[in-house]
Amino acid sequence: MQSGEHAAVGAAVSVAAAFVLFPGAPVTTLAALVAAGVAVSVFVDLDHFVIARGMAGDWHHLERAVTNPRVGLLEQERVFADIDEAALVHRRLLSHHLIAGALTLALALAGRGSLAVFAAVVLYAHVLCDYLRDLEYA
């Protein structure tokens, strides 16, 4: 999915999760949770650049996205156009699962149970959206 799509889904899921998991929280807290949820929904995809670096042996994909904002923001399908898409998809989904699990565990171990569940829900929605797009359902 494109970053804008992940941001929209992340916002919707974050709003719902914030209200359910943090009932009675001040509006500023809820707004911060939603902002954090959207950020996590979008920035978890930065792992694609690390994976592409491992597959290609250099950082030219990151350079392409950073030096050409049109590609990095609007034409994201061009960022990884020269890499084996099937291999990237499998590694990307594995990486997302590892990141989600590690973040959730870290928050839980830090005594932030509700925040751990919040992060897990937001990242679950992200991965689910990726699966739906990869299966051409969305």
Return the pLDDT at 138: 78
Query: Is 1 a residue whose pLDDT tops 90?
Result: no
Quick: pLDDT tens for 108-136: 999 999 999 999 999 999 999 999 999 98
Q: Give the residue, 77 or 35, on which the prediction is more confident.
A: 35
Q: Is 15 exposed, middle or buried (0-12, 13-18, 19+ CB in 10 A)?
A: middle
Quick: pLDDT tens for 54-83: 999 999 999 999 999 898 888 888 999 999
Return the pLDDT at 27: 97
Return the pLDDT at 69: 85
Question: What φ, ψ does residue 23 adopt, rounded to 5°?
Answer: -65, 135
Distance CA 54, CA 65 (A): 17
Tell me the mean pLDDT in the region 41-47.
95
End-to-end Cα separation, the chain, in angstroms: 9
Query: Is 40 a residue whose pLDDT tops 90?
Result: yes
Per-domain residue ranges of the chain: 3-56+84-134
DSSP 28-42: HHHHHHHHHHHHHHH
